[in-house]
Amino acid sequence: MKESKSLHEKTVIVALDAADQRQALALADTLDPSRCRLKVGKELFTAAGPAVVEALQAKQFEVFLDLKFHDIPNTVAGACRVVRALGVWMLTVHASGGRAMMQAAREAVGEDVNLVGVTVLTSLDAEALRATGVERPLEAQVSALAADACHAGLDGVVCSAHEAERLRAALGPAPLLVTPGIRPAGVDAGDQARVMTPARAVAAGASYLVVGRAITQASDPARALDDIIQSLEVS
């Protein structure tokens, strides 16, 4: 799905890292679907399945289904056809699955879903990436996978905000750059190795910011979301 959007228009994607549907829906009820989108990841989807996606959509939220498919092309294509029927807004596959896999995913979801390729997980730093057997420097690996994803017809990539400026310069204005590891100033990095504040990430070229605990664990999630959006509007 190719889309044009105004800067900061629902730029924030709130990661619903909840253990069950009841908890996820309770959190969703504190947020405004005109102000953000919601991300459903592996834990929540494994616990609740497609029903949680449908329940969030019934509340007028657009859903980013972050399942990071990585398998042989035929298997990924089959899974993507099921996701297409769910009507989600965005879906992830691993760019390291190869161009044939990404092309199969693209064909399976058509233009109905924003399809983005995960480059290098933001929990990995250069040393951790080398330990997996990847000899290229982290930045070079991210750039290579991002270029491959775009050549395969994907709408963009998931990357650290630290790579956003370089990727935006290399790939141009069209690809979506979805950046997890976003932490407002003063918020602990947790298990993320490469983090950045919301305003800096947007300035670097990020299209969408994935924010989890800074919102979901706040005493007032709606206020925490509004504070982040306001920080973007004044940046």
* Residue 145 confidence class, pLDDT cut points 50, 70, 90: very high
Task: Tell me how far apart the alpha carbons of residues 57 and 51 are, in angstroms, rounded to a whole number.
Answer: 10
pLDDT at 17: 84
Q: How far is CA 206 from the centre of its chain?
A: 11
Q: State what percent of residues in the chain have pLDDT above 90.
A: 81
Q: What is the pLDDT of residues 99-123, one digit of tens each?
A: 999 999 999 999 999 999 999 987 8
Catalytic residues: 68
Contact (Cβ atoms closer than 8 angstroms) between residue 203 and residue 233: no
* Residue 4 confidence class, pLDDT cut points 50, 70, 90: very low
pLDDT over threshold 90, residue 125 = no
Contact (Cβ atoms closer than 8 angstroms) between residue 69 and residue 104: no
- Please name the residue ranges forming H helices in the chain: 21-28, 42-48, 50-58, 73-86, 99-109, 126-131, 138-151, 161-171, 198-204, 213-216, 221-233
Task: Tell me how far apart the alpha carbons of residues 222 and 232 are, in angstroms, rounded to a whole number.
Answer: 16
Contact (Cβ atoms closer than 8 angstroms) between residue 213 and residue 187: yes
What pTM was estimated for this model as a whole?
0.91
Residue 138 in tokens: 């982290």
CA-only gyration radius of the chain, Å? 17
Task: Tell me how far apart the alpha carbons of residues 117 and 178 are, in angstroms, rounded to a whole number.
Answer: 9
Residue 203 in tokens: 């300035």
Contact (Cβ atoms closer than 8 angstroms) between residue 40 and residue 53: yes
Which residue shows structure tokens 């790939």?
171
Which residue shows structure tokens 């950045």?
196
According to DSSP, the β-strands at 63-69 and 156-158 are unpaired
Rounded to a whole number of angstroms, the distance between the first and last alpha carbons of the chain is 28
pLDDT over threshold 80, residue 165 = yes
User: Is domain 12-233 given the CATH code 3.20.20.70 in the classification?
Assistant: yes
Domain locations in the chain? 12-233
